[in-house]
Amino acid sequence: MFERFTISAHVNKDIKTCFKIYHTPEHIINWNFASDDWECPKASSEFKVGGRFNYYMQAKDQSVGFDFTGIFDVIEFPTLIKYHLDDNRKVEIHFKKHDNQTFISVLIDAEKENSLALQKRGWQSILNNYKKYVESI
């Protein structure tokens, strides 16, 4: 059993746009990294229940990188995406309209190699990059 944690953000954009940008590869490469010295140069996604995704993240100096891979389990436009990672951890992304904003909360199964605090910071940083990117377009 995995320990779970939640991150969240209010995004100044409509819910349908937020939902689309969260799962579309040509947008994912622009925000899916935790710090400025990392990048996501490749992303692929078969966005349907049972479809696979692969987001490749690497240090900009290319010294280290990894594939972030999994399968979509539930898709409810425009409010919910659930997937599981290849290591069986589960992730749920909830989108809620809130006035002229979208509130996004992400429930994540923690992995066991890094501290919970480190994982929360990393995932929150990625969501903050997402918010910044969405609000800029």
Q: DSSP letter for 87, please.
A: T
Helix axes 15-23, 116-136, angle to 10 degrees: 120
| pLDDT score of 1 more than 80 | no
- Residues of the domain holding 10: 4-136
Tokens linked to 23:
């799962």
Task: Give percent of the chain above pLDDT 70.
Answer: 100
Q: 27, 10, 31: which is closest to 105 by C-alpha?
A: 10
- The answer to whether the beta carbons of residues 9 and 31 sit under 8 Å apart is no
> What separation in angstroms does the CA of 18 have from each of 98, 101, 116, 134, 136?
12, 10, 27, 7, 12
36-59 pLDDT, tens digit each: 999 999 999 999 999 999 999 999
Q: Domains in the chain: how many in total?
A: 1
Rg of the Cα trace of the chain? 14
**What's CA 17's distance to the chain center, in Å?**
15
Cα 77 off chain centre by: 16
CATH number at residue 91: 3.30.530.20
Q: What is the pTM of this model?
A: 0.95
pLDDT above 90 for 121: yes
